[in-house]
Chains A and B, each alone.
Chain A
Amino acid sequence: MPGLAIQVERYSVVIAIGGIPVRVNTTDADFLELLQNRYAGFVSAKSDAEFEFDVDLSQSTFANRDADVSVRHRSGQWFMERGGFRAEWNPAKRSGTIHQTANAYSIDAVLRIVHTLLLAQQGGFLLHSASAIRNGKAFLFAGVSGAGKTTISGLAPADATLLTDEISYVRKQDEGYVAYGTPFTRERENQGENTSAPVAALYLLAHGLENRIEPLAPADAGRELLANLLFFAEDHEMVHRVFQAACDFVDRVPVSRLTFVPDARVWEMIQ
């Protein structure tokens, strides 16, 4: 019987984080709009992308919404899963599929995982840290929740450009590192600027009664950095890469403890 066909509209958006463009395809116009709003500063005007994901919104429920994230490598593909999404990604084919409901949190989690895997291959990483550019140099402020990342970001002077108040994007470049802005934040209004600068220093945040900077011994710096890295893959090869990337970083970048009182004078020490 001729002529019976359903044409499904396909929408795409290219999200470029850390200079890596990823195309996301969907058949749902409302979801496309959600993505365009969520990643507003990071939507690329170019259609070229290094990787591509189709988003399948047809699965309305997932077995265990509270399940921990699982990232496994099998037969050349990465399989990512958490309560709320399931995704497959084949880096060699540069494509993958994300099964989720129409929400920003799930795709945000997938993008974070994908970028941690890409960065690990290149000697970089995602880090629980705020970061900002001042005088052409990027400064990272790492710490667990409550350490002061949002506080120090909020105290940044007008001449500082905030890259993120939550998750920093660090790429290895030549003998140094470059920090990029990220959209990875809980609050849309706290999204970082989509720009980058060479990393000048990493500070481990601590609250105190005075502002002071104390250099850390290399092993302490390595332990602290590793404790603040985002990494999900249960794959010993990738774990080794991330470990060596962290050690390389502390070999090349000054790492200090920054104890601060919550007022703007702390930025006098960040130049």
Chain B
Amino acid sequence: MSRKLYVARSPRIAARRLGEEMLVMSGQGSTLFTLNPTATIVWQAADGATPLDEIVERRICPEFDVQPEEALRDAEALAEDLAKHGILLISEQPIATAQPRTQEKP
């Protein structure tokens, strides 16, 4: 049985959607990242309370027409990669954290 994984946006990150792309900037080192469409969905849904498998099932599978197991494997790898860069926090428990300011045009 696979583990439950929770993801939350790091409060030390600023993010902004510009056109079709999501840019995120780490306060540490002023490093700028551009999220791909899958990463953007995970980022936007990463509230610390919704398990990653639920994000995959509800948000990623319908969007990309992909099998849940395969999508979950990819999403876990993606989340760990984003965590390495300090963009996401990941835990096997729900995460309570102040969310970063993400601004999007109305």
Per the 8 Å Cβ criterion, residues 58-106 of B in contact with A are 101, 103, 105
**How far, in Å, is A233 (CB) from chain B's closest CB?**
9
**Does B25 contact A239, Cβ atoms closer than 8 Å?**
yes
In whole angstroms, how far apart are the Cα atoms of A250 and B21 in the complex? 13
In whole angstroms, how far apart are the Cα atoms of A221 and B16 in the complex? 13
The residue on B at minimum CB distance from A217 is B19
A50 in contact (CB, < 8 A): no
Chain A interface residue bracket vs B: 10 to 19
User: Of the candidates B14, B20, B105, which one forms a contact with A240 in the assembled complex, judged by CB atoms under 8 Å apart?
Assistant: B14
User: Of the candidates B14, B20, B30, B101, which one forms a contact with A219 in the assembled complex, judged by CB atoms under 8 Å apart?
Assistant: B20
B18 in contact (CB, < 8 A): yes
Tell me which residues across on chain B come within 8 A of A250, comparing CB atoms.
18
User: Of the candidates B27, B28, B103, which one forms a contact with A247 in the assembled complex, judged by CB atoms under 8 Å apart?
Assistant: B103
A47 in contact (CB, < 8 A): no
In whole angstroms, how far apart are the Cα atoms of A247 and B104 in the complex? 10
B23 in contact (CB, < 8 A): yes
Most B C-beta atoms less than 10 A away, residue of A217, A221, A237, A240: A240
Interface of A is mostly: helix
**Does A222 contact B16, Cβ atoms closer than 8 Å?**
yes
Per the 8 Å Cβ criterion, residues 18-37 of B in contact with A are 18-21, 23, 25-28, 30, 32, 34
User: Of the candidates B14, B23, B101, which one forms a contact with A223 in the assembled complex, judged by CB atoms under 8 Å apart?
Assistant: B23
User: Of the candidates A221, A231, A239, which one forms a contact with B14 in the assembled complex, judged by CB atoms under 8 Å apart?
Assistant: A239
Contact status of A240 and B101, CB under 8 A, knowing A223-B34, A226-B32? yes
Most A C-beta atoms less than 10 A away, residue of B25, B34, B105: B25
Residues of A within 8 A of B (CB): 217-219, 221-223, 226, 231, 235-237, 239-240, 243-244, 247, 250-251
Instruction: Provide 15 A-B residue pairs closer than 8 Å at the C-beta atoms, listed in order of the A residue.
Output: A217-B21, A218-B18, A218-B19, A219-B18, A219-B23, A221-B18, A222-B23, A223-B23, A223-B32, A226-B25, A226-B32, A237-B27, A239-B26, A240-B14, A243-B23
